[in-house]
């Protein structure tokens, strides 16, 4: 019994669609920070290479003009404040396109990864997260350990790349004394783009691995046991006992309706024991006889019994009974059966004359 219990608790089954949808509604989605970082770096590099040539030259020209005329600035606080304000403004104009694009990429990439998921509940403070014990568990969780190792690896790799780039720039440092400001700026930008490209390629590989790991880890956490799946099916389809009870009620009501229809029928056509079909026909209003009830075997026996109790004529005609049984209830008989059914109804009408008696099958 213990082995059966442990087996039922083993979450070895892939999550169902309902489980995935519920997790998504709760905010549990696959969100790779490394993929987001890759997109931010890509956008940063693209905007940097497209705008730096113009905005960087403008920034240097304004700053050089400010520095060349700095000795003419009045030493009072107001003039120094204006000079500082101009410097800050030029710096903001230089960095604004980069910051704006990165902010847009952060929002758009987050929306794409989460599938436009918006959860107002996430804005409500969770008091449970303030628990020191819960905080310690989160810090030493497997996911956080992996994140820490990943960050250390990135730090070492990126540090090695930047060290290599810096070492290369030091080799040409003595020559930089003879360069113009424009040449020096171009060289610095080239070294920066070169370093960023290498980091971007490394980040792309990290993003792919992190995307795979994030999705795998999420699916592993959402795995279900056999008991979980049974419980989900029970909740979705309803309690089997309740469904059985409802089925019994529907069958009982259907039988009651059938008996009422049989009592008002014109004739019952039988096989004579396997099938029974109740026909209703009013010569003044109906275009054709209508099937109001039908049944096979046990149900056919109940139809015959109800017909006997209600004095409804019973006529044995196996070919017609089998043919009519294949038709749906509450449908008029097709033209190909008009002649045999008309003969049966005509026979029944004769039986209603005084002294006549319906045959009992």
Rounded Cα distance, 209 and 42, in Å: 17
Helix axes 77-114, 33-68, angle to 10 degrees: 160
pLDDT by residue (tens digit) across 226-262?
A: 888 888 777 766 667 777 787 888 888 877 888 888 8
Element (H, E) at 235: helix 226-237
pLDDT of residue 361: 43
CB 177 within 8 A of CB 143: no
**Least confident among 96-100, 139-143, 322-326:** 139-143
pLDDT of residue 48: 77
CB 327 within 8 A of CB 336: no
Judged against a pLDDT cut of 80, whether residue 83 lies above it is answered with no
Judged against a pLDDT cut of 60, whether residue 281 lies above it is answered with yes
Using only the alpha carbons of the chain, give its radius of gyration. Answer: 43
End-to-end Cα separation, the chain, in angstroms: 58
Residues for the chain: how many in total? Answer: 361
pLDDT by residue (tens digit) across 185-201?
A: 677 778 888 888 888 89
Judged against a pLDDT cut of 50, whether residue 274 lies above it is answered with yes
pLDDT of residue 183: 72
Judged against a pLDDT cut of 60, whether residue 120 lies above it is answered with no
User: What is the DSSP code (8-state) at residue 333?
Assistant: P
pLDDT of residue 152: 87
Rounded Cα distance, 272 and 106, in Å: 79
Task: At 248, list the tokens.
Answer: 């019994």
- The three-point CA angle 253-259-264 to 5° equals 130
Judged against a pLDDT cut of 70, whether residue 41 lies above it is answered with yes
Judged against a pLDDT cut of 50, whether residue 340 lies above it is answered with yes
- Percent of the chain's residues with pLDDT above 90: 0
Rounded Cα distance, 294 and 279, in Å: 9
Judged against a pLDDT cut of 70, whether residue 353 lies above it is answered with no
Judged against a pLDDT cut of 60, whether residue 312 lies above it is answered with yes
User: DSSP string of 122-163?
Assistant: GGS--GGGG-HHHHHHHHTSHHHHHHHHHHHHHHHHHHHHHH
Output the pTM of the full model. 0.49
Give Cα 117 to chain centroid, integer Å: 11
pLDDT of residue 115: 64
Q: How many CA within 13 A on the CB side of residue 36?
A: 18
- The reply to whether omega before 309 is within 30° of 0 (cis) is no
More confident residue, 205 or 75: 205
Give the domains, in start order, of the chain with CATH numbers.
28-117+132-223 (no CATH), 243-351 (3.40.1690.10)
Reported confidence tier of residue 169, pLDDT bands at 50, 70, 90: confident
Task: At 82, list the tokens.
Answer: 């204006």
Specify which residues 279 forms β-bridges with. 267, 291
pLDDT by residue (tens digit) across 2-38?
A: 444 444 457 778 887 788 778 777 767 777 888 888 8
């Amino acid at each position: 019994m213990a082995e059966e219990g442990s087996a039922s608790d083993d979450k070895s089954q892939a999550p169902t669609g309902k489980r995935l949808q519920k997790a998504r509604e709760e905010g549990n989605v696959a969100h790779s920070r490394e993929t987001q970082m890759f997109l931010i770096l890509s956008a940063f590099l693209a905007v940097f290479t497209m705008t730096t040539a113009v905005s960087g030259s403008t920034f240097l020209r304004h700053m050089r003009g400010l520095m060349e005329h700095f000795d003419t600035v009045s030493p009072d606080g107001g003039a120094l404040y204006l000079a500082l304000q101009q410097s800050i403004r030029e710096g903001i104009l230089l960095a604004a396109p980069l910051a704006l694009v990165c902010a847009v990429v952060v929002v758009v990439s987050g929306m794409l990864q989460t599938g436009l998921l918006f959860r107002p509940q996430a804005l409500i403070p969770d008091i449970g997260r303030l628990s020191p014990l819960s905080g310690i568990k989160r810090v030493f969780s497997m996911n956080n350990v992996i994140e820490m190792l990943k960050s250390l690896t990135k730090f070492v790799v990126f540090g090695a790349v930047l060290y290599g780039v810096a070492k290369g720039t030091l080799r040409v440092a003595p020559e930089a004394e003879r360069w113009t400001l424009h040449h020096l700026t171009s060289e610095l930008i080239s070294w920066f783009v070169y370093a960023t490209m290498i980091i971007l390629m490394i980040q792309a590989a990290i993003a792919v691995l992190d995307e795979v790991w994030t999705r795998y880890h999420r699916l592993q956490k959402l795995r279900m046991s056999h008991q979980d799946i049974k419980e989900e099916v029970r909740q979705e389809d309803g309690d089997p006992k309740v469904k059985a009870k409802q089925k019994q009620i529907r069958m009982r009501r259907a039988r009651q309706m059938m008996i009422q229809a049989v009592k008002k029928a014109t004739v019952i056509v039988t096989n004579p024991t396997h099938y029974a079909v109740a026909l209703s026909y009013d010569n003044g209003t109906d275009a054709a006889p209508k099937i109001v009830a039908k049944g096979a075997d046990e149900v056919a026996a109940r139809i015959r019994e109800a017909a006997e109790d209600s004095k409804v004529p019973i006529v044995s005609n196996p070919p017609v009974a089998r043919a009519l049984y294949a038709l749906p209830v509450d449908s008029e008989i097709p033209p190909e059966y008009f002649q045999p059914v008309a003969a049966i109804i005509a026979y029944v009408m004769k039986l209603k004359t005084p002294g006549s008696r319906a045959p009992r099958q």
